[in-house]
Chain A
Amino acid sequence: MAEKLVGTDIAPPDLHAKITGRARYAEDFRAPGMVFAKLLLSPMPHARVRRVDARRALAMPGVIDILRADEVPSRDGPREACLTDYPRYEGEPILAVAAVDEETAAAAIEAIEIDFEPLPFVIDPLDSLRPGGPNAYVEGNQFSGQDGWSEFRWTAEDFAVIDAGGMPDPSCPVEWTKGDPDAAFAESALVLEETIVHQSLTHHPMEPRSNMAYWEGDRLFAFVSTQSTQQTKFALASALDMDPENITFVAEFCGGGFGSKISGTTVMQVPAIFSKKIGRPVMLRVTRYEENYIGRARPGFQSWLKMGFLPNGKCNAIDLIIVQESGPYGASDYATAGMIADLTYTPQNMRFRAVDMFTNTPPKAAQRGPGGAQIISMMEPILEKAARELGVDRLEMHRLNAPRGDVKFGPRDSTLTSVHAIEALERGAEMFDWPAKVALSGRRDGSRVTGVGIGLSPYTAGSRDRDGLMIIRPDGKLYVHQGIGNLGTHSIADTARPAAELLGLSWDDVVIVWGDSSKGMPRSTVQAGSQTTHAHTRANHAAGMDALQKVREVAAATMGGAPSAYRVDGGRVSGPGGTMTLGRVAERAIQMGGRYDGHVLPEDIHEQTIPAAQMLAGQGLMGVARDNYGGEGNVYSWVAGFALVELDEETGVVALKEYVGITDCGTVIHPRSLGAQVLGGSIQGMGMAMTQRWVFDPKWGVPFANRLYTARPPGMLDVPPDLKWDAVGIADPTTPVGAKGIGEPPVGAGAAALTCAVADAMGGRCLCRTPLTPDIILAELEGRTGVGRLEQHVG
């Protein structure tokens, strides 16, 4: 009987390396003659470099060379280069210096004389929307590929309404409407209108984006910290305008990315270009301080929300306006936020408007649950507020509004493959004991008040049409080649399980091959948007089916009988003609050649897979296939979070006392790892909502909170030692293994459960902004209203 792999706890094969210090992250690689680069970062948020005098620096002993912006690729418009003479945020890299050691490189950076022309800057996007406001770029504040630069403003009338605390009716570059929101609001029993600010905050993965590179002739060897692997290799090749097959790309481990290292990093170009220039390996170590600037950030939102409800609590209309703080190089969180608002509250009548505004703050990128985490943490407290006003139980309110399987959402009536959000809510209510806990709401113990809250959060969780590539070698083991990255989700191993199960193999006979492009990688997804578990259980299932069919054919050709009469299990194939080991089958496949050992490849696989498959041809029996399973509908996973907090009214400090997170993410592949995703993601969301505060100086446009202790992610004592989680565990019927992704949705659930619980502890008052640091809570408790209410980056 084959070992059951899907749904069991198996430690990933790289764990031993991780806990013995053998795992090599990008900064752990060394090369003979390696030198060190240091970046010179812009000291101001928007400037032009007028003059650089590096003579003194270059004359210092041990200094090798300088790399300037005109030596690196750049493109017109609001597009980021790895070095620039037109810095658009404080901390943008201007140039790099290489020296024999890092101390010398840093001393050389200090010795460079550089003359900046300061330019006007924008920190808060509303400033740039005001008539006569500043622009983040000299050329304007909006850019389109077709029309180039322009200026976009709201009118004085719009701002008269805004400044009076009202909801404006502005024109926006992005707008869609479904149903008839105006008519629906007229029928609503309750209409809530709120102004909400969601902060921008930096990612701060534990491993900064250090990287190293060297060249041997025309071949680049790049050692990069990245979430993805195969796709990052292509991104690097594209950035450097070179043939991807001339890159040996190594990314064995990644110390977290959370969206900030999806296709690698912009700064990964610096060692690659610099090492070519000076003919020596270059290590660029990025410090935590630098990471704050170049390490990407979640875009902030300033929003006006109008939500209508029928007497029973059903949301029947939404009018949502989002101004997105997009940094100098843009982001698209707002689009996802609009979709997720419609999906989560199913109003049937919705108007969505958005404008993304360039600002001179550190660049934005997807941050775990981009757009979704923001909008859920903003809207869930409003939903709970409506429940209070209508006298509906809050759990019932979430259940009533959550989508059913036939939901249609967004401007194009998108559909889902499956949804079990209600089951997640019900399971969570049971584990949390909602009726008992909600009875504790408002309980006082000295200055501490109890509050409970629920957050329901969806996010995309899959994609289709990647390739799988695996080979059974004469040693009888299955080598699964993975082009996805190894950022700690364990999907690098877990997505191989379906193929191993199909081939009846014990997990000890499966070898995961990853992290080095010279070993051969199939066309893979970028490791983002929670796609990987879905996309690559499918791709590996497809390649596993291909391998299974070939094993049977080889057995039949060798021992006689029909291929379909052969069974594969326990490392052997058995049928009417007898039994062979898979090792023997691999040897026979090599003898038979053709499609059996990969010398002839399926015609439909992606072009990016072909070189890898050709390289492995002749080494065993090859399973290689494109995911042709198809399927209709968007893949979304869900997390329902339940939180109980105690708010100290004297100090403004919130203590999380209990948390339960329940996910609907289809079939569970690896329970223990899933639990880590559900709880870890939830806690990240709590940091976003409560502790990680990014504050900028509006006068000089520079961040104050640029380290871990000033924008503090949650630590071990910020969460109770007995968090709970579970999974609904209902397979998605549209995908062969039934598994969906999980990375993103917990963030919004954790954040919203907490903000709802805080509002509950304050008697139902929504603060309508993040993060809820003690000073903000105290200001609200003391009745100091309106201070910085609409401003981004202000406490």
Chain B
Amino acid sequence: MDQSEALGVLEQKYSRRTFIKGVIATGATVSSTGYLFRGTPLLGAAAFQTATERLLSLNVNGQVRRVDVLPHETLAMTLRYKLGLTGTKLGCDRAECGACTVLVDGVAQYGCSMLTHQVRGRAVTTIEGLEDPDTGELSTVQKAVMDEGGFQCAFCAPGFIMSMTAMLQDNPNPTREEAAHALSGNLCRCADYDKILNCAMRAAELARSV
């Protein structure tokens, strides 16, 4: 992969600019996207119409889910309010806290800053998708968090756990400093960073021993 190609992939993976470009393309304003969404048709009354929903097929946690999505709807809102996956938390809706982190094709992404239309044809994994669907067995990272008694209020926990999961794929052997860098896109207001790092290091240890 040459450098420009690598940068292109990086931008696709991480850029907030991609998100904003997507929003502009759909004719919505950036400021209104984060926390606004459409109720389901089940609610009865017709709603204020600004844009038309489109039926999409999404691959979420290994299942194909069909869902009506507005052009400017964020992935976090679709997950929480249309697919019932409330494990993905919204702490800031503006890419400041990382509570909404999910995996898209294995890469940690802020669900609040990604349009649902952007994930068509890509595999989305949320906190609900980490357990073994057949046995309920926890993932390596989740086991590590249980071992270490991680998190306090834990509103940030799903986001951190998704970031840890992505980290271990990229770097199975992190130092504490490397783990801190990998998780620095997530904010813990209880500031339980020491224990969160213990969880990350424990997860790496468990992953190595499998």
- A-contacting 9-mer, from B4-12, B18-26, B81-89: B81-89
Q: A20-B127, A20-B128, A255-B153 are in contact. Are A288 and B158 (CB under 8 A)?
A: no
Q: A61-B46, A103-B48, A676-B195 are in contact. Are A21 and B188 (CB under 8 A)?
A: no
Chain B count of residues within 8 A CB distance of the other chain: 70
Q: A25-B89, A207-B91, A683-B193 are in contact. Are A103 and B149 (CB under 8 A)?
A: no
- B-contacting 9-mer, from A131-139, A430-438, A714-722: A714-722
- B-contacting 9-mer, from A104-112, A267-275, A392-400, A474-482: A104-112
Within 8 A of B (CB), among A261-287: 285, 287
A20, B138: Cβ atoms closer than 8 Å: yes
Q: Which of A100, A285, A672, A717 has the most CB of B within 10 A?
A: A100
Q: Does A509 contact B (CB under 8 A)?
A: no
Tell me the nearest residue of chain A to B143, going by C-beta: A19
B47, A104: Cβ atoms closer than 8 Å: yes
- Rounded to whole Å, the gap between the CB of B152 and the closest CB of chain A is 3
**With a CB–CB cut-off of 8 A, which chain B residues contact A224?**
none
B149, A101: Cβ atoms closer than 8 Å: no
Within 8 A of B (CB), among A90-139: 99-104, 106-108
Q: A20-B142, A21-B86, A60-B48 are in contact. Are A15 and B151 (CB under 8 A)?
A: yes
A716, B184: Cβ atoms closer than 8 Å: yes
Q: A60-B48, A101-B38 are in contact. Are A20 and B193 (CB under 8 A)?
A: no
Tell me the nearest residue of chain A to B91, going by C-beta: A206
B96, A708: Cβ atoms closer than 8 Å: yes
B45, A100: Cβ atoms closer than 8 Å: yes
- B-contacting 9-mer, from A41-49, A484-492, A517-525, A763-771: A484-492
Q: Does A362 contact B (CB under 8 A)?
A: no
How far apart sit A717 and B86, CA to CA, in the bound complex (Å)?
28
How far apart sit A529 and B21, CA to CA, in the bound complex (Å)?
47
Tell me the nearest residue of chain B to A104, going by C-beta: B48
Tell me the nearest residue of chain A to B131, going by C-beta: A20
Within 8 A of A (CB), among B33-52: 34-39, 43-50
Q: Does B122 contact A (CB under 8 A)?
A: no
- B-contacting 9-mer, from A28-36, A554-562, A693-701: A28-36
How far apart sit A310 and B50, CA to CA, in the bound complex (Å)?
73
**With a CB–CB cut-off of 8 A, which chain B residues contact A34?**
43
Residues 177-204 of chain B, each 1 if its beta carbon lies under 8 Å from chain A, else 0: 1011101101111111111110000000
- Rounded to whole Å, the gap between the CB of A725 and the closest CB of chain B is 8
A62, B37: Cβ atoms closer than 8 Å: no
B153, A61: Cβ atoms closer than 8 Å: no
Interface size class for chain A? 35 or more
**With a CB–CB cut-off of 8 A, which chain B residues contact A715?**
184, 187
Task: Tell me which of B85, B177, B179, B189 contacts A256 (CB under 8 A).
Answer: B189
Task: Tell me which of A102, A108, A488, A675 contacts B194 (CB under 8 A).
Answer: A675
Q: A103-B36, A721-B197 are in contact. Are A15 and B93 (CB under 8 A)?
A: no
B191, A19: Cβ atoms closer than 8 Å: no
How far apart sit A673 and B196, CA to CA, in the bound complex (Å)?
12
Q: Does A723 contact B (CB under 8 A)?
A: yes
**With a CB–CB cut-off of 8 A, which chain B residues contact A680?**
152, 188, 190-193
Tell me the nearest residue of chain A to B154, going by C-beta: A18
Q: Does B109 contact A (CB under 8 A)?
A: no
Q: Does A679 contact B (CB under 8 A)?
A: yes
A102, B35: Cβ atoms closer than 8 Å: yes
- Rounded to whole Å, the gap between the CB of B104 and the closest CB of chain A is 17
Q: List 23 A-B contacts (CB under 8 A).
A: A9-B149, A11-B146, A15-B151, A16-B146, A18-B154, A20-B142, A27-B86, A62-B46, A100-B39, A101-B47, A103-B50, A107-B50, A204-B189, A206-B155, A206-B187, A285-B35, A488-B151, A672-B149, A676-B194, A679-B193, A708-B96, A713-B191, A717-B180
Q: Could you list which residues of chain B lie within 8 angstroms of chain A, going by C-beta atoms?
A: 32, 34-39, 43-50, 80, 84-94, 96-97, 99, 126-128, 130-131, 138, 142, 145-146, 148-158, 161, 176-177, 179-181, 183-184, 186-197
Nearest 7 Cβ contacts at the A-B interface:
A21-B87, A255-B155, A488-B153, A101-B39, A488-B152, A62-B47, A683-B191
